[in-house]
Amino acid sequence: MDSPDWHRRMRDYVKEAGGLSPATDSFYFLRHGETEHNKRRIIQTQRGVTLNDTGRGQARAAADILVNHDFTEIHVSDLERTWETAEIVNAKCAKPLHKQSNLWERDWGDWAGQSNVDLNWGGDPENGESLQQFTLRTLDGFRAVLDLGTEILIVAHGGNYAVLLAAFGLPLNGPRVVKNAEPIRLTKDGSGAEGWAAEFL
């Protein structure tokens, strides 16, 4: 499917900023488990949102998958919902945990708390981050952890994953970008526009 205009703009912002060139040939990504905001289709605030019971179960299921994969450490957005997801996963995987505040979800400003059914991703919310600001901040976060040269797990947000897809020239997977707590392995194999492919585990 063709990516929407806002995702093509993300790709332009990444290109203008010099792109993303990881020092590793593979790594893993996991979006946090479900929250009540996700369930009710509400735009989330950055802080104060935790997993619901479904989200905790999703994180445990992701742990059952990820424990069979070889990554060296976990880099996490330190918002509550991502940190809780990472701790559940790490109860089984037992890897070093590192906080990365540049991988927070987008600050939706005055739009937080509203329905996300018709969310304008390309818009600029009052008292929040523009699409460009969010893209460049997230890009800095990915560069910080992917320049380490080891195979890692990143636990972050759907918006961050959209930036990652844009950086690698990969299309969105659907209107939700990525499901809650669905483990993904990204590998440099030459298939995408930038030579990367994403595989759901």
pLDDT digits over 45-97, tens only?
888 899 999 999 999 999 999 999 999 999 999 999 999 999 999 999 999 99
Q: CA 112 to CA 3: how far, in whole Å?
A: 24
Q: How far is CA 131 from the centre of its chain?
A: 15
Q: How far is CA 12 from CA 5, 37, 44, 131, 189, in A?
A: 11, 30, 26, 11, 23
Q: Which phi and psi angles does 77 have, rounded to 5°?
A: -60, 130
Q: What are the tens digits of pLDDT across the range 132-182?
A: 999 999 999 999 999 999 999 999 999 999 999 999 999 886 556 799 999
Q: Are 69 and 79 in contact (CB under 8 A)?
A: no
Q: CA 22 to CA 10: how far, in whole Å?
A: 18
The yes-or-no verdict on residue 39 having pLDDT over 60 is yes
Helices assigned H by DSSP within the chain: 5-16, 36-40, 53-66, 80-93, 131-146, 158-167
Give mean pLDDT, residues 181-191.
Answer: 89
First-to-final CA distance of the chain: 21
The domain 5-200 is placed in CATH, from the list 3.40.50.970, 3.40.50.1240, 3.40.470.10, 3.30.565.10, at: 3.40.50.1240
DSSP-based three-state secondary structure for 97: strand
